[in-house]
Amino acid sequence: MHKIVKLTLGLLLCSTSTYSVADLYVTPWVGYTLGGSVENQDGEDFDLKGSTNLALSIESDFDTGRIGLFYTRQATEVEKIKQDSDVHYLLFQSSIHYQLDEQLSSYLGLGLGGSYIEAGWVDNKLGFSASIMGGFEYKLTEQLALNGQVRWLGTVVDNDTTGVCNLPSSGSDSCVIQFKTSWMNQVSTNVGVTWRF
């Protein structure tokens, strides 16, 4: 019994000490997201309003880059017809970093995961999503850096789902809306502060 306890403790210590060598990067982000559109029964297009987004990434060193998770949320509404929509993304991502000088580096990365669309007019709220990102990181200290990025976000949506909406002009006019295509494209620009642990 003592051998099993010693072996378990030894494995835990080895795995912990190996993990502690890898740096952990935590970045809260604030940004602005554009894109996404719906159409009504008459074929008229309405865009999702561009709005601010909040995000968080947690990454670790991997080869010449980083690997980790990225979460973002955008609260928006459909233009003109005032239908609220919250879009959430959770992505597993990896990136390659290129050192430009002692303090500045650039990076390029990909992400895969899922999205959740919180809207009364959407039936199938979950979808597959993907992301491509690029940006720059400026090191202020060994533990702190400023970060900026541009990110394309794409998600599979159910464009067979329709929902009823009221047009704001008279209040009695109603319409039926749905996603315009089965793939929604969005672009976000983000700035953040990266803490290295």
DSSP 71-139: EEEEEEEETTTTEEEEEEEEEEEEEEEEE-SSSEEEEEEEEEEEEEEE-TT-S--EEEEEEEEEEEEEE
Question: What's the pLDDT score for residue 22?
Answer: 77
Per-residue confidence in pLDDT tens, the chain, 197 aa: 445 445 444 544 454 444 445 799 999 999 999 998 888 777 788 888 999 999 999 999 999 999 999 999 999 998 877 788 899 999 999 999 999 999 999 999 999 999 998 887 777 689 999 999 999 999 999 999 999 999 999 998 866 655 556 555 444 456 777 677 678 899 999 999 999 99
pLDDT of residue 15: 46
Alpha-carbon torsion (35, 40, 42, 43), positive or negative: positive
Domain ranges of the chain: 22-196
pTM exceeds 0.95, yes or no: no
Among residues 170, 156, 154, 172, the alpha carbon closest in space to that of 35 is found at 154
- DSSP helix/strand/coil, 18: helix
pLDDT on residue 97: 96
Integer Cα distance of 90 and 190 in angstroms: 16
CATH of 22-196, one of 3.40.190.10, 1.10.150.300, 2.40.160.20, 2.40.280.10: 2.40.160.20
pLDDT at 41: 75
Sort 47 into a burial class: Cβ within 10 Å, 0-12 / 13-18 / 19+. Answer: middle
Q: What is the structure's pLDDT at 182?
A: 78
